[in-house]
Structure 1
């Protein structure tokens, strides 16, 4: 490197060139972090290299810190400081850099993480033992693309802080509170996936709730159908059944879908419980839904009234497989719960963005499949005067801690009575062709 004084300024770095007749030349660079920093030029190369020479274990070693002008003098001194500190601890900075490089290569960006997670997510069974539908997966893609990716995609997963997530989700909440709540749930699942694959040690969404991002849960729905509305729904189902010669050409229901909707009305069960119903779960008038198919993870028993048994008898003539409500595609699979929701929306003319005002039930206040469950609960409580706690048990809601197994078993007869009386009301005032509008309700004790 000769006897020239060490370089001290950026101008000197820029002015340093290869002496005539030389293939390579180095010059020392002054650094407050100690000796060993130099800059090197080579023949035929437009860039200059920052070199650090150090002594470790009695041996002279050197490493390249970077190239000029991409790495400035200031930055080279900072890199020199980092390397010199490692040498003081007896560590080889070259190995440390290799380790960091390998770590960076193995580290995921948030976009990498989302791509891996969504592939995993769309094949994983949910609470109903089925993977999410194509519609649900598409919605997750949409949330990521609209609300999350613009600001998070290029972050390394390990660098995403709770503060960053709150900022992103608060902005999403200003546009759509419901979507912000779903986006929080997406991130919670995504980062839990990353945590299990050792991309992060702590999930920054832990303990984060919708209220923290301005997306407090919306008020619970109160919609339930009156008997007159259930009557119109039942009639619409019959009018559009696939075996009805006078059916509307714009809306045709397969018989399994029609019967499944009616069973929802009669039992108050969840749509997935009915859609995935199997013959070996039914014993005479009892239907035992296995724990793995209930939201509470407890086996749930349902009484089947005579009208419900008629529906099952018709289904028995149509199916040869294990499912009560088989798909009409002939693949031996069950109905999908989404088909029930789509059917109810179609009967109301709300299945598409542009509403069909000619739909049979368009005049009714909007309702969903889940509102049929709420209708059962409301009618059982208000019309049949059933104990609300008993109705909660009939809906398979988790019981209060003070209610033991004995109490639940002892009330089975009371539940049967309610389901039986509800079935009679539906048969007489909703499903019967001879039914006439009346405010009189037949209640048997």
Structure 2
């Protein structure tokens, strides 16, 4: 009697669902399933099927229709009730759940996962010029790919773009920043750009990374470096370079420095140019005492002129004898290529005994406070300002910094002659403290073949 009563009222328990079967003599049977005020849910059993079916019967636009929600036992009672309630709410809004499901399926097929989004974005990023008009270098694009692969792909790659939330991004980025603070900052920038790209392509309504600051992910920027070398330290560096540059057929006897790398560091000290600009310097860029760095090789995307002092010309004269290619500082491994700018960084680290995890206290500059290649550029700028009282804006122009907007707009005169004077005085100062004698007027019209 209890069993008959349960059938008349409808199934209310998982046990009832499990026990429900087709009565003898029939091919199928259907029984209502209670769901807290939402009607129309039923369970159907058939003799030709092992699984039972969850069905939802409803009326829409004056027509009675039904939708299959799933199968039992793959879909249990709790999940069936949840899916039924969702469908019933759509009906209350006048929406046919069957059409909604088709639309949702189509939307899912058109939706990108984060991995798919990254693959699309990185191609867009690699070919998109910045404000300077230059596209990212291959090295920069490679770094972005590496950050994604190392830090972001595992926690984010399989998720849909539309499911990204600010809270979850903060969690992921905090983990990155805990491992490497600067990489946390860089990954934040990457995600901002990636999700901006997705927002523009209507994969997400709003970018959850927009306005997210490094402090929120515990990647607050560190204190800006202020290290610069004073004249006695610059003298020690120059002497250490000479000590390690005993030249034999263009290559130093010590593994620390080749002639090209040694002279590249010296030219970097004399000009204040960036390491990449010096490393890839070409003979065609040098006319008499002027080195013109083309726009495509400068960070600002603007052509930049550098005056070569007498001491700088002496260094180029030595390279002129050693180089057999179009490059001033050709590689000792492949004459058709220049030295790599990272080679300069490695050489400076070796001179300080810091190129490996275990420091070498026998290195010639081990006793100096640690400095980087960029610190040398800062050292030169500081000396120009403090020793020769050069105007900071003039020094910025000599370093090829992009001027402030108003200055760039209204002050077109670069006062190049004053810059020449500073470069010459600086060359004389370096020649004096290193006891190097500039050898007169050395002029390069073209490189020998």
Match of residue 166, structure 2, among 162, 171, 181: 162
In the alignment, what sits opposite 2:359?
A: 355
Match of residue 139, structure 2, among 132, 136, 155: 132
Contact 2:246 2:253 in 1 (8 A): no
1:366 deviates by 0.9
**2:380 aligned with 1:373:** no
1:151 deviates by 5.1
369-378 vs 309-318, which moves further? 309-318
Alignment partners' CA distance in 2, 1:350 and 1:134: 28
In the alignment, what sits opposite 1:432?
A: 436
Alignment partners' CA distance in 2, 1:245 and 1:298: 37
**Cα distance, 1:137–1:250 mapped onto 2, change above 3 Å:** farther
Contact 1:240 1:247 in 2 (8 A): no
Alignment partners' CA distance in 2, 1:238 and 1:123: 43
**Cα distance, 1:335–1:29 mapped onto 2, change above 3 Å:** same
RMSD: 3.8
**Cα distance, 1:360–1:245 mapped onto 2, change above 3 Å:** farther
TM-score, with structure 2 as normaliser: 0.80
Contact 2:245 2:252 in 1 (8 A): no
Alignment partners' CA distance in 1, 2:389 and 2:121: 48
Contact 1:24 1:42 in 2 (8 A): yes
Alignment partners' CA distance in 2, 1:199 and 1:59: 35
1:382 deviates by 1.4
Q: C-alpha deviations, 1:118-163, integer Å up to 9, x for none?
A: 798799999685312799469626850xxx5675455433222122
In the alignment, what sits opposite 2:10?
A: 7
**2:248 aligned with 1:239:** no
Q: C-alpha deviations, 1:382-410, integer Å up to 9, x for none?
A: 12222222212212223234435674525
Alignment partners' CA distance in 2, 1:135 and 1:430: 40
Aligned length: 430
Alignment partners' CA distance in 2, 1:242 and 1:138: 41
Alignment partners' CA distance in 2, 1:242 and 1:58: 96
Match of residue 104, structure 2, among 100, 103, 115: 100
Match of residue 343, structure 2, among 339, 344, 365: 339
1:333 deviates by 3.6
Alignment partners' CA distance in 1, 2:176 and 2:111: 27
TM-score, with structure 1 as normaliser: 0.80
Contact 2:129 2:136 in 1 (8 A): yes
Q: C-alpha deviations, 1:29-59, integer Å up to 9, x for none?
A: 3456765432222447553221234556677
Alignment partners' CA distance in 2, 1:289 and 1:405: 22
Match of residue 226, structure 2, among 222, 226, 238: 222
Describe how 1:278-293 pairs up with structure 2 within 5 A. Answer: 278-293=282-297
354-363 vs 186-195, which moves further? 186-195
In the alignment, what sits opposite 1:67?
A: 71
Q: C-alpha deviations, 1:188-223, integer Å up to 9, x for none?
A: 344345446654343322222223333221111111
1:431 deviates by 5.8
Q: C-alpha deviations, 1:216-235, integer Å up to 9, x for none?
A: 21111111112222222222
Alignment partners' CA distance in 1, 2:190 and 2:67: 44
Alignment partners' CA distance in 1, 2:127 and 2:361: 38
In the alignment, what sits opposite 1:204?
A: 208
